[in-house]
């Protein structure tokens, strides 16, 4: 047994010695790095950026009441389409007691004056017919009678306005009827029956009864970083991807770049707006989140190589031309480069079509 144990020990020691010699031998051999080989090709280079934002109608109109009161009826709901002049809500006037008392007193005085002028008119008419008084005197009494009747009508209209907000002659165009001032889609009706509303005045914007907008005329409103805003120009084409429709791209054209930036999260951002060309089969709701894909620059049918094949020395760019593929041998050459999209880069001079250049190192293939 002792003899067998010694043999096993010597075998183990021999294997360790052989492994050590092999490790030292491999380590002493020169390392050969193998690289991927890339080919110069023709293609298109696009420099893009993405701006985040949302969809807004170009003009969103807030409908305000023309008098104060209480909402007695709401005729429209959010989502309905309206034409300019359509009634959205009806207001019930809450009369001021002082104004109501004055209006009632004015009616009473006008009624007294009208009764007296009618009596004078009837008397003088008969006298004029019997040629007792002159025509001039009769016409003076007739004018007074007509004036008193007009004053009575005006007093009654004023009383009706104070009580109900409408008059018999202007019932169809009453201020108690809140009408849409534009044609479009109702985005929101924030009031309900029973809500109090006030008209716009010098101290208050007034209560919003509804907001109306034309959803066929939509804008993308977003923000872009200051490092890229200098490359934008009007009317630059854009592609809008809406969050609710990720598989659909809507074309747009840039029409506004803010002259002043806003600081947000340590970065200066500029607001941009783009007009959408909305297809007929697409319905875009106000407030949709969206991303704008903007082509900042483009090169068509140019020589391109992967950007990873470049090396830099100072302000110059170099590539390694393949002179022999097995074993791999390379020759350094200076090139002039142009536009890059982050993966491929334009080669303006220094390379020809189908030339082969050294790419990235193949990890794990060192010999």
| pLDDT tens for each residue of 305-356 | 888 888 888 888 888 888 887 777 888 888 899 888 888 889 888 888 888 8
Q: Residue 274 in contact with residue 39, Cβ under 8 Å?
A: no
pLDDT in tens, 226-285: 888 888 888 888 889 998 888 888 899 999 999 999 888 888 999 999 999 888 888 888
* All domains in the chain, ordered by first residue: 35-44+300-361 (2.40.420.20), 49-57+215-298 (2.40.30.170), 62-93+171-213 (2.40.50.100), 97-164 (1.10.287.470)
- Comparing C-alpha atoms, which of 82, 156, 149, 160 is closest to residue 117? 149
**84 or 170: which leads in pLDDT:** 84
At residue 47, the pLDDT reads 84
Could you give the CA distance from residue 167 to residue 149 in angstroms, rounded to a whole number? 17
**102 or 9: which leads in pLDDT:** 102
Q: In the predicted model, what is the mean pLDDT of the chain?
A: 83
Instruction: Give kind and range of the element (H or E) at residue 158.
Output: helix 135-164
Could you give the CA distance from residue 257 to residue 224 in angstroms, rounded to a whole number? 9
- Give the CA distances from residue 49 to residues 41, 46, 159, 232, 234, in Å, rounded to whole numbers and listed in that order: 24, 10, 66, 10, 16
Between the CA atoms of 148, 153, 159 and 165, what dihedral angle is there, to the nearest 10 degrees? -150
> Which range among 50-59, 98-107, 108-117 shows the weakest confidence by mean pLDDT?
98-107
Could you give the CA distance from residue 310 to residue 349 in angstroms, rounded to a whole number? 14
pLDDT band (50, 70, 90) for residue 200: confident
Could you give the CA distance from residue 64 to residue 237 in angstroms, rounded to a whole number? 37
At residue 221, the pLDDT reads 93
230: Cα separation from own chain's centroid: 21
Could you give the CA distance from residue 331 to residue 323 in angstroms, rounded to a whole number? 7
- Comparing C-alpha atoms, which of 267, 273, 271, 274 is closest to residue 258? 271
Percent of the chain with pLDDT over 90: 20
């Amino acid at each position: 047994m002792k003899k067998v144990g010694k043999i096993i020990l010597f075998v183990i020691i021999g294997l360790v010695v052989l492994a050590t010699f092999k490790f030292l031998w491999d380590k002493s051999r020169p390392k050969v790095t193998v690289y991927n080989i890339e080919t110069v090709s023709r293609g298109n280079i696009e420099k893009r950026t993405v701006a985040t934002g949302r969809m807004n109608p170009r003009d969103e109109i807030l409908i305000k009441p023309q008098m104060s009161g209480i909402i007695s009826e709401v005729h429209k709901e959010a989502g309905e389409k309206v034409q300019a002049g359509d009634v959205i809500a009806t207001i019930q006037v809450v009369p001021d007691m002082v104004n109501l008392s004055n209006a009632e007193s004015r009616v009473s005085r006008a009624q007294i004056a009208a009764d007296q002028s009618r009596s004078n008119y009837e008397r003088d008419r008969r006298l004029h017919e019997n040629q007792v008084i002159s025509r001039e005197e009769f016409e003076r009494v007739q004018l007074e009678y007509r004036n008193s009747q007009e004053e009575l009508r005006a007093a009654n209209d004023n009383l009706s306005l104070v009580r109900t907000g409408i008059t018999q002659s202007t019932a169809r165009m009453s201020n108690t009827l809140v009408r849409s001032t534009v044609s479009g889609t109702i985005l929101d009706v924030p009031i309900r029956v029973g809500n109090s509303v006030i008209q716009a005045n010098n101290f208050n914007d007034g209560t919003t009864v509804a907001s109306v907008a034309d959803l066929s005329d939509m804008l993308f409103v977003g923000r872009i970083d200051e490092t890229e805003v200098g490359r934008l120009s009007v009317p630059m084409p854009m592609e809008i991807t809406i969050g609710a429709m990720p598989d659909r791209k809507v074309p747009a054209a840039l029409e506004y770049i803010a002259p002043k930036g806003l600081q947000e999260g340590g970065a200066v951002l500029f607001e941009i707006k783009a007009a959408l060309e909305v297809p007929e089969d697409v319905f875009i709701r106000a407030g949709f989140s969206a991303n704008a894909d903007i082509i900042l620059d483009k090169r068509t049918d140019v020589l391109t190589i992967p950007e990873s094949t470049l090396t830099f020395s100072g302000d110059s760019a170099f590539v390694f031309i393949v002179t022999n593929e097995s074993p791999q041998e390379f020759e350094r050459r200076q090139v002039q480069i142009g536009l890059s999209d982050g993966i491929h880069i334009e080669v303006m001079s220094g390379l020809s079509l189908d030339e082969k250049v050294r790419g990235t190192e193949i990890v794990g293939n060192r010999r």
